């Protein structure tokens, strides 16, 4: 397993729409293991494939530090089947924006359709922090970043921070 380089805000691949995973082969499984390793090394809660250079619809999440999930999870070809519940505003960060944390609105609860490593479909319901991380990662697969959720005024306030991040600094 190897730790991959995480793409930082400003890199074009973060704005690209990712393609569904067609073949779950050995190469892809190895890539997922590397993604997982990279997320753990960076102490992130989630990591999308395009954040480490591949425009595939897959991401990993790790919420074990909050005792929310017992082990890291891999999500492949996710689709939002249902979104319900209230909107919750909470602090969010992103491995592609080192040091930046912003208050972001997200639905409290979502139902996701995904496939497992055998290619079989399954549904899962996510609530609270899991829903937040899952929706953040699905946004990545569509080329959307968490700063896109900010109002123009909020975004204006972090302009200099974004410049620094683009220049490779931590804010
Ligand atoms: Zn992110």
Task: Specify the CATH number for the domain of residue 132.
Answer: 3.90.45.10
- Ion ligand 1 contact residues with beta carbon within 5 A: 94
Flag whether 7 is in a domain.
no
* Nearest by Cα to 14 from 112, 97, 128, 133: 97
CA distance 76 to 32: 10
Flag whether 2 is in a domain.
no
Domain encompassing residue 119: 12-166
- The answer to whether residue 1 scores a pLDDT higher than 90 is no
Flag whether 53 is in a domain.
yes
Q: How much distance in Å is there from the Cα of 167 to the middle of ligand 1?
A: 18
Flag whether 116 is in a domain.
yes
Flag whether 154 is in a domain.
yes
Instruction: Respond yes or no: is residue 137 known to be catalytic.
Output: yes
CA angle 60, 37, 11 (to 5 degrees): 70
Q: Which residues pair with 61 in a beta bridge?
A: 46, 73
Flag whether 3 is in a domain.
no
CA distance 93 to 98: 8
CA distance 25 to 136: 26
What are the pLDDT digits (tens) for 52-93? 999 999 999 998 888 777 888 999 999 999 998 899 999 999
pLDDT, mean of residues 139-163: 97
The structural domain count of the chain equals 1
Flag whether 62 is in a domain.
yes
Kindly tell me the burial class for residue 94, based on how many C-beta atoms sit within 10 Å of its own C-beta (0-12, 13-18, 19 or more).
Answer: buried
Q: How much distance in Å is there from the Cα of 103 to the middle of ligand 1?
A: 14
pLDDT, mean of residues 11-34: 97
Q: How much distance in Å is there from the Cα of 24 to the middle of ligand 1?
A: 24
Q: How much distance in Å is there from the Cα of 140 to the middle of ligand 1?
A: 7
Flag whether 5 is in a domain.
no
């Amino acid at each position: 397993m190897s730790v991959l380089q995480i793409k930082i805000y400003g890199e074009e691949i973060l704005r690209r729409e990712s393609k569904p995973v067609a073949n779950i082969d050995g190469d892809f499984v190895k890539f997922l293991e590397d993604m997982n390793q990279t997320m753990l090394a960076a102490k992130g809660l989630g990591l999308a494939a395009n954040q480490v250079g591949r425009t595939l619809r897959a991401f990993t999440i790790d919420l074990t530090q909050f005792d929310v999930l017992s082990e890291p999870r891999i999500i492949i070809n996710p689709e939002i089947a249902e979104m319900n519940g209230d909107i919750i505003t909470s602090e969010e960060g992103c491995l592609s924006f080192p040091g930046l944390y912003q208050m972001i609105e997200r639905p409290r609860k979502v139902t996701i359709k995904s496939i497992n490593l055998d290619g079989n479909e399954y549904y899962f319901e996510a609530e609270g922090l899991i829903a937040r991380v899952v929706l953040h990662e699905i946004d990545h697969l569509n080329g959307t970043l968490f700063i896109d959720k900010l109002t123009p005024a909020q975004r204006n306030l972090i302009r200099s921070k974004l410049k620094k991040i683009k220049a490779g600094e931590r804010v």
